[in-house]
Structure 1
Amino acid sequence: MASRPIRVCLLGHSTRSDNLGVGALTVSDIAILRRIAQEIGREVEITVLDFKDAREPYVTGSDIRIVPLDRRAMTRPSGYLALARRSDFVVDIGGGDSFADIYGSGRLNRMFLLKGLTHLAGTPLVMAPQTVGPFTKPASRLMARLALRRAAVVASRDVQSTRAARDLGRAEVIEASDVALRLPYDPPGPREDGPLRIGLNISGLLMAGGYTGRNEFGLTTDYPSLIRDLIRHFQTHPSGCEVHLVPHVIVREGRMTGEDDYRACEALAAEFPGTVLAPSFGSPSEAKTYIAALDFFMGARMHACIAAFSSGVPVIPMAYSRKFAGLFGSLGYDRTVDCTSEANSVILDKIASAFEDRETVRAEARDGLQRGLAKLDAYEAALRRLMEKASA
């Protein structure tokens, strides 16, 4: 008799988030699970607990099931608890960087509840590579300590998060990297003659001054002025450059638009004739395919930068939080500029210099990518062990 499929449930993932970075984590983790299942000769059933949304999912297939994440799923025994009991293991990626108390108590308490229900079900919990912390409040530190202690696997995506997990009492931590290094895409074909294509990812959130407009990220740069200076710099560069304005958080009509990159790109495209407005991408892989065809890239959305980094494009990440330097620095890639501590002129000079030396930057990114993929191997090996145990 044929063995039943391995049943995996995904938490903290999204199949249709407006933020393509969160989507990139989901598509990549599913690609990893599918590949391992194929290598061990088993089928896999993947259930994603996801918020209801009208957007079409990024991932489809007979092995994918999407279950609405709502109050009923979290509170009824027939909801998530029953789903966890039917699963061989649960993979929780925490939205990449949400396992922290800096985003408010509502999101974090929901994460603690779902982790607790997983443990109550007796199902192994995998904390996939993610940022851990910061936890600034005693109560959230205590809950985080308990969650980390009971997890079957804890994987971080940078040195800082490894240290944070160990400081919370978790001794065994797999220091991996961001799973989006594995995001599938279509590599570009042979390059035709034409201008150098400069990709600039615009953060609508930072253009608006943060969620409140009061600079809660503590930027020392004047981000809107810096963006305009970068566009002018490359449009007037003697090499002849074509500036592509690239969104990575794309909010549909009728929803809150404060985070929307596409509208910010659209406004700048109107302000600067000759720039190219990138499409309103339908999926993370579509965005990465576009970015992979560029000659140089910079941006304040970390996963837009990861898309460039993992597809061979010289990239300068423009950080607004510690997660940038944590991720890229852990891979020995030190080209990140810091919008929370550096002046506009310093950042512009660093980016201009990196562009002139872009082949060196490309080689550094290539070396960093190999380090990242090697670090991901340890996480994938842990998943393989769980899948092999489920099939025994």
Structure 2
Amino acid sequence: MNTRPGLSDTEPAPCLRIGLLWHSVNSPNLGVGALTISNIAIMEKVANELGVSVEFIVLGWMDKSFPVYVQAPNVRALALNGRACKPGGAFSAAVGDCDLVLDIGAGDSFADIYGWRRFLYLAYTKWLVKRAGRPLVLSPQTLGPFKNRLARAIAAFLIRRSDLVFARDRMSVDYARDIGVSRKIIETTDVAFRLPYEKPSPWPGPKEKTVVGINISALLYQGGYTRDNMFQLSIDFPALMDRLLDYFAGIPDCEVVLVPHVLSHRAVEDDLSVCQQVQRAHPGVSVAPAFRSPSEAKSFIAGLDFFIGARMHACIAALSTGVPVAPLAYSRKFMGLFYALDYRDVIDCAAETTESALEAVTLAFGRRDELARMARHSAALAQDRLGIYEDGIKDFLASRIPNRRPAPVAAKSRLSA
């Protein structure tokens, strides 16, 4: 029964059409997929509470070589490229048919640390949304950094022009202030804490081995896109991986599995090929299977006893399931997110030496029971923080519901797990 004022019991509920900008239905970077699945789940919960149905159009990069794992009757996708983003092109047409656009910036891509091409795509599409007269909401994400003065000016202008802005950490809020943004920015956390997964079955009796997962980022292992220490790490990342594997090989009751979280046809991004390369040099370790979806990866990570990760959403998969984790940070996004959730055991790979990073990880391993308790606390805190996002979106949508198109069918997402 629809009890919203002005609607009869038989009148179909209004339907909101939401554009999900810089999300993806099949990104080989499973972190971006995790953001998409989680944000859809959050928006459906909010829409249900408001008594409306919702349709989504996912606007982002698509990978022809990777299977689609976000599939639902109320979800469709538009691949963004230069042609689609031309004025009057497919992107503008899609945006014009939306009631609002949620831009998550692929989590951390509204920055210039990944190069000008990516930054300009992220900036230009925001401008097109506002040019079309559509409400633009920046979903929880890292804001910046912007090392270039022009990039900072463009970013500040676009943040001011957005209708509602959420950041996933306090550092982003403070950074926006530093670049001249005085508008309200709501601090919450990463939506991937809502990613569904299958809990591992309880282990029957005492475990014979402690299973350690290590996520090796191909991007860091190969020096970034420029292959010349693009992220200005102070450690030797490949050497750290070798030394960690040697360390755990010396512990008789440890089993190590390498866990890829980006499975790309681009060699510079492909964790799987790097994990296989490392395995050949360390034949005692295994490599996790090529995951088919973000939820499948999270379900695997949830069954580990300790996790070391250089991909932030692989670390979030651990933290959100109570697995003790040693995040290997290459940018402030790690510290911003984890510190805000009272989890401070983050190794800053742009400040530590290889030796001190190794020591920090081994000390964390020795404290894994304590870190597991901290992870459970942080996961609970994250759920509370996401309630702030839900409430903010709910209030924002409530004033935009009247006179919307009726829903053709009642559709609920069935997202791949």
TM-score by length of structure 2 reads 0.89
Task: Tell me whether 1:209 sits opposite 2:223 in the alignment.
Answer: yes
The 2-side partners of 1:125 and 1:150 are apart by: 8
Judged with a 3 Å threshold, the aligned counterparts in structure 2 of structure 1 residues 242 and 154 are, in CA distance, closer, same or farther, namely: same
Counterpart of 1:379 in structure 2 is: 389
CA contact (8 A) 2:13 2:51 kept: no
Counterpart residue type for residue 347 of structure 1: A
Q: Check if 1:188 corresponds to 2:179.
A: no
Letter in 1 for 2:195: L
Letter in 2 for 1:179: V
Structure 1 position 281, deviation (Å): 0.8
Corresponding position of 1:282 = 292
Change (3 A) 1:5 1:194: farther
**Residues 329-340 of structure 1 aligned to structure 2 (within 5 Å):** 329-340=339-350
* Separation (CA, whole Å) in 2 of partners of 1:320 and 1:138: 22
Q: Displacement, 1:374?
A: 1.6
1:183-208 deviation per Cα after TM superposition (whole angstroms, max 9, x unaligned) = 11111111133311101111112222
Q: Which residue of 1 aligns with 2:159?
A: 148
CA–CA separation in structure 1 for the residues paired with 2:131 and 2:264:
36
- Structure 1 residue 67 displacement after superposition: 1.5
Sequence identity percentage: 44
Change (3 A) 1:109 1:378: same
Total equivalences in the alignment: 388
SS of equivalent to 1:73: coil
- Within-5 A mapping of 1:332-371: 332-371=342-381
Task: Report the aligned-residue RMSD.
Answer: 1.6
How far 1:78 moved relative to its partner?
5.4
* Most deviating of 78-87 and 25-34: 78-87
In 1: Cα distance, 2:344 partner to 2:325 partner:
11
After superposition, give the CA deviation of every residue in 1:33-77 in whole Å (9 maximum; x if it has no partner): 122223333211000113343222221110101112133332242
Q: 1:221 aligns with which of 224, 232, 235?
A: 235
Alpha carbons of structure 1 residues 107 and 212: separation in structure 2 relative to 1, 3 Å:
closer
Runs ≥4 residues deviating over 4 A? none
- Given candidates 293, 309, 313, the residue that maps to 1:299 is 309
Gaps of 5+ in 2: 1-10, 403-417
How many angstroms apart in 1 are the aligned matches of 2:274 and 2:243? 15
Separation in 2, partners of 1:117, 1:11: 11
Q: SS of 1:74's equivalent?
A: coil
SS in 1 for 2:345: coil
* Contact 2:263 2:272 survives alignment (8 Å): yes
Q: Distance in 1 between matches of 2:341 and 2:293?
A: 26
2:281 corresponds in structure 1 to 271
Higher relative contact order (CA 8 A, sep 6+): 2
By how many angstroms is 1:9 displaced?
0.3
Matched, 1:87 2:101: no
CA distance in 1, matches of 2:226, 2:61: 24
CA distance, structure 1, for counterparts of residue 212 and residue 218 of structure 2: 19
1:106 alignment partner, one of 114, 117, 125? 117
Query: What's 1:48 paired with?
Result: 58
Q: Counterpart in 2 of 1:10?
A: 20
Q: Which amino acid aligns with 2:128?
A: L
| Counterparts of 1:272 and 1:120, CA distance in 2 | 54
How far 1:132 moved relative to its partner? 0.8
Q: Which residue identity is paired with 1:261?
A: D
SS of the counterpart of 2:146? coil
Aligned counterparts of 1:203 and 1:35: Cα–Cα separation in 2: 33
Could you tell me which of 308, 320, 330 is aligned with 1:310?
320
Deviations 1:252-307 (A, max 9, x none): 3xxx2012110111122222223121011111111100000000001111111110
SS at match of 1:72: coil
The residue that corresponds to 2:43 in the other structure is: 33
Q: Secondary structure at the match of 2:84?
A: helix
Q: CA 1:212–1:104 in 2, change beyond 3 Å: closer, same or farther?
A: closer
**Counterpart amino acid of residue 47 in structure 2:** A
Which of 125, 128, 133 is the aligned partner of 1:122? Answer: 133
The 3 A distance-change label for structure 1 pair 349 and 102 is closer
Q: Provide the C-alpha distance between the structure 1 equivalents of 2:371 and 2:199, rounded to a whole number of angstroms.
A: 19
Match of 2:58, SS state, is strand
User: Which of 272, 281, 305 is residue 262 of structure 1 equivalent to?
Assistant: 272
TM-score by length of 1: 0.94
Q: Unpaired runs of 5+ in structure 1?
A: none
1:89 touches 1:386 (CA, 8 Å); kept in 2? no
